[in-house]
Amino acid sequence: MKYGLPVIEAHEFACRDFVGGDAALDFINTVTGRDESPRDWLGTYESMLDWAALARLLPERNLKALRKEARRTPAAAAGALSRAKVLRESLFALISSLVAGGAPPTGTLELLQRHWAAGIEARELRLEDSRVVAQVRSDAADLDLVAAVVACRMIENVLPRPTNRLRMCQGGNCSWVFFDSSKAGGRRWCDMAVCGNAAKSRRFYERSRST
């Protein structure tokens, strides 16, 4: 499959944009339509924070600190957004190769490992209700924090699950990735109401034309 360069598209994130089964997959899906006309919904660093808030990726206090830091140092925030997008495209390449049963492109795992290490640095272990949990440090406000936590989620939540349940939506102009947690493992679309119905109505249209 060939992929074009995505154009930036203004987008207000909503619950329907979170269908991947984990925030790390939903982050990849902030580019939509990679197979036909790719559009990138992360136009600014702030839009990435809006996404992170809806994804519940980071505690509110860290998001607030990042918003402040991005306003104070816009050039640095733009740099961090670019690095997050490099990670995003690399994760898409990784998931696509796993879906296809192939090896990820060179450098993919090294890049993921670097962001993962930053994510580990940004967290601390705490005792909560007799359980030890790893949580983002309350003072963590590095502009690369979103990418770092996405990398942790990918390694801790997505990659340990069965690879044969990773999917890419079969709808046209979509290419969203998701984890198929259905009992039978037959989920083909990111969202039945969006790509599933479009595919069905297209089939119906083609059938009715041929008769």
C-beta of 170: minimal distance to Zn ion in Å? Answer: 8
Closer Cβ to Zn ion, 28 or 169, answer by number: 169
Q: Does 168 bind Zn ion (CB under 5 A)?
A: no
Q: Does 31 bind Zn ion (CB under 5 A)?
A: no
The tokens for 162 are: 């069965």
Sole window of 33-41, 54-62, 171-179, 198-206 interacting with Zn ion (rule: CB under 5 A):
171-179
- Binders of Zn ion in range 99-118 (CB under 5 A): none
C-beta of 153: minimal distance to Zn ion in Å? Answer: 21
**Of 169, 178, 179, 187, which lies in the binding site for Zn ion, with binding defined by CB under 5 A?**
169
Closer Cβ to Zn ion, 116 or 176, answer by number: 176
**Of 151, 174, 177, 199, which lies in the binding site for Zn ion, with binding defined by CB under 5 A?**
174
**Of 55, 171, 178, 187, which lies in the binding site for Zn ion, with binding defined by CB under 5 A?**
171
Residue 210: CB atoms within 10 Å: 6
Cβ–Cβ under 8 Å, residues 153 and 124: no
> How far is Cα 136 from Cα 92, in angstroms, rounded to an integer?
25
- Binders of Zn ion in range 185-204 (CB under 5 A): 190, 195
C-beta of 178: minimal distance to Zn ion in Å? Answer: 9
Cβ–Cβ under 8 Å, residues 24 and 158: yes
Exposure string of 32-42, with b = 16+ CB inside 10 Å and e = fewer, is bbbbeebbbbb
Residue type, 115: H
Identify the CA nearest to 153 among candidates 46, 19, 28, 12.
Answer: 28
180 alpha-carbon distance from chain centroid: 15
C-beta of 140: minimal distance to Zn ion in Å? Answer: 34
Cβ–Cβ under 8 Å, residues 8 and 47: no
Residues engaged in binding Zn ion (CB under 5 A): 169, 171, 174, 176, 190, 195
